[in-house]
Structure 1
Amino acid sequence: MSEEVGGEPDPERLAALEKRLSQLKKTEEAPKRAADGDLRMADMAWRMVIELVSGLGIGFGIGYGLDAVFGTQPFLMLIFVFLGLAAGVKVMLRSAADLTKAQARAAAAGKEGK
């Protein structure tokens, strides 16, 4: 069959098989890395949405509570909702800047490795 007379496997066929296996492993790893990147980006997007909504919610809660205490029904609630929105946007922009810096560092590390 594919074995030599002495019972040893053919080294050329083994080398070809190892080469094919390594190529298949490389092609399988690439989509996984892309999928991991997509998951990280989706995770970051959800984080930003949660930061924005939590800022709004906290501002609403503080404003509503202060309105109930002082009897100034919509006034403080509106002010604190806008303050909460501003805080949420600020935190969201900081997260986006951190993500951009991390991507720039990864790109620089990738260029140095080549």
Structure 2
Amino acid sequence: MNQHKIFTMPFASVYPHYVKKAERKGRTKSEVDHVIFWLTGYNKEQLDIVLTEKTNFETFFKNAPQLNPNVSKITGVICGHRDEDIEDPLMQKIRYLDKLIDELAKGKPMEKILRS
């Protein structure tokens, strides 16, 4: 899938997959939301609006209240690419979220996922 398709894809179309992935591994929707809130600065009401309005990934990240200042601590490989080496800022943010959801699904403690 090319980047433009990912950027214009509604966040709401991927969100259930994040939740399902986490729940299959014994984690909760609430934990998925917590990770999203940590990364983006959104709160529950704002996330609900994003999901209802079918906001695309580009707008989701562009309108994020505040990217977490510890985002640079998210390192590693996701989808075959090192997070810190991804040049497109939007794709990097999408991969950061993918990485956090993967860590959640793998059972990492929340304090490690949130780089506390």
TM-score normalised by the shorter chain: which range applies?
Answer: under 0.3
- Normalised by the length of structure 1, the TM-score is 0.27
Structure (1 or 2) with the greater helix fraction: 1
When Rg is computed on C-alpha atoms for both structures, the one with the higher figure is: 1
